[in-house]
């Protein structure tokens, strides 16, 4: 019981700067290119700086060390801010040792994609993710998501 209380305390204390955190499960662990999870982030503080992260959960059976993601980032006015193709690493290319935190054969990854980002306007921003690998469907990806966190030590204006 004490271990559970300690784990809960640790979990909540780590998330104190989280403004938004969500993930979408990938049905049957098969991520099709047409499946594009979309996340709507409400921003009210435009003076703050934020770190944005991809959240990826995969199994040890995932056949690659990397993952290509396409990120469509749209502002509150529905105008595109950016469309970016990024390569993220889920395991060591040489040893195959998974990055992230694992339990059994599941591994969770928190991968930064924007650091010290300042949103220009308040409102709802949309981030849509799609897999851009050559394999369709992409197996053994269990969920994808994003986390938006305020930077703890904000620089003075």
Residue 132 has pLDDT above 50, yes or no: yes
- The answer to whether position 8 is within a domain reads no
Per-residue confidence (pLDDT) for residue 2, from 0 to 100: 39
Number of domains in the chain: 1
- The answer to whether position 9 is within a domain reads no
pTM of the model: 0.87
Token readout for 50 is 């934020």
- The answer to whether position 2 is within a domain reads no
The CATH number that applies at residue 73 is 2.60.120
Whether 75 and 81 have beta carbons less than 8 Å apart is answered as yes
Cβ atoms < 10 Å from Cβ of 80: 10
Q: Tell me the average pLDDT across 148-157.
A: 79
Per-residue confidence (pLDDT) for residue 152, from 0 to 100: 86
pLDDT tens-digit readout, 66-104 = 999 999 999 999 999 999 999 999 999 999 999 999 999
Q: Which residues pair with 129 in a beta bridge?
A: 71
């Amino acid at each position: 019981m004490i271990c559970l209380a300690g784990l809960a305390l640790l979990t909540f204390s780590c998330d104190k700067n989280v403004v938004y955190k969500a993930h979408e499960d990938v049905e049957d662990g098969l991520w099709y290119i047409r499946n594009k999870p979309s996340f709507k982030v409400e921003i009210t503080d435009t003076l703050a700086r934020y770190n944005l992260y991809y959240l990826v959960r995969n199994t040890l059976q995932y056949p690659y060390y990397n993952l290509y993601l396409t990120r469509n980032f749209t502002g509150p006015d529905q105008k595109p801010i950016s469309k970016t193709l990024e390569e993220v690493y889920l395991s060591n290319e040489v040893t195959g040792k998974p990055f992230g935190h694992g339990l059994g054969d599941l591994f969770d990854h928190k991968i930064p994609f924007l650091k010290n980002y300042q949103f220009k306007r308040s409102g709802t921003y949309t981030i849509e993710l799609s897999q851009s690998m050559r394999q369709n469907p992409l197996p053994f990806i269990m969920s994808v998501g994003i986390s938006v966190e305020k930077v703890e030590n904000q620089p003075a204006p």
